[in-house]
Amino acid sequence: MATATFIVDCPVCKAKVAAEEKGRAERTAFDDDAGEPYGRRTSVGECPRCHTFLVGESHQIRFRGWEGDEEDLWSDPVRVHPNPPKTFSSHRIPSTVTVSLAEAGNSLQANVASGGFDHYLTRRGLVIIGLPLAVKLRESR
């Protein structure tokens, strides 16, 4: 039987590695307030190079049987231990913005040079998050 792995960045090796999965916790449910399903997966593993203990978290992006999706799809795992990356996390941030911010953060963690696209995604996410606040400030004046 093949050993399960998940791709995550190792802060010691400073590289993306296929961590050998030692355990996993998963939860999927329906959020009545948002009117949509959600899923969260936490994978525990070990770096094959330096043997550092790594924990990655994924969010379910597509759900089989929901809005025509034929299969489940999970985001790339983001390292949450050790030294978790700086992230924006709030239930008030729309899922599309959260995905854009996560993609930008993943690229930055991997030191990917993409001609400023990461900066664009992060800035776009911040503008979208800040827009309702700016509107409220204008209305209160």
In this structure, the answer to whether residues 117 and 131 fall within a common structural domain is yes
The two beta strands, 15-31 and 36-46, are: antiparallel
Spell 53-70 as b/e; 16+ CB within 10 A means b: ebbbbbbbeebeeeeeee
Q: How many domains are contained in the chain?
A: 2
In this structure, the answer to whether residues 132 and 97 fall within a common structural domain is yes
Q: What is the mean pLDDT of the chain?
A: 76
In this structure, the answer to whether residues 19 and 49 fall within a common structural domain is yes
Share of the chain above pLDDT 70, in %: 62
In this structure, the answer to whether residues 93 and 75 fall within a common structural domain is no
Summarize the chain as % helix, strand, coil (round to 5): 30, 35, 35
In this structure, the answer to whether residues 69 and 28 fall within a common structural domain is yes
pLDDT of residue 48: 95
Distance of CA 34 to CAs 66, 92, 97, Å? 14, 10, 15
pLDDT of residue 68: 73
pLDDT of residue 86: 65
pLDDT of residue 47: 95
Full-model pTM: 0.59
Pairwise pLDDT comparison (11 vs 128), residue with the higher score = 11
Pairwise pLDDT comparison (37 vs 117), residue with the higher score = 37
Helix ranges (H only) for 42-116 are 95-109
In this structure, the answer to whether residues 7 and 73 fall within a common structural domain is yes
Q: Using one digit for the tens of pLDDT, what is the confidence trace for 81-125?
A: 888 766 656 667 776 677 777 677 666 655 544 444 445 545 555
In this structure, the answer to whether residues 9 and 44 fall within a common structural domain is yes
pLDDT of residue 18: 94
In this structure, the answer to whether residues 10 and 26 fall within a common structural domain is yes
Domain span at 11? 1-84
pLDDT of residue 118: 46
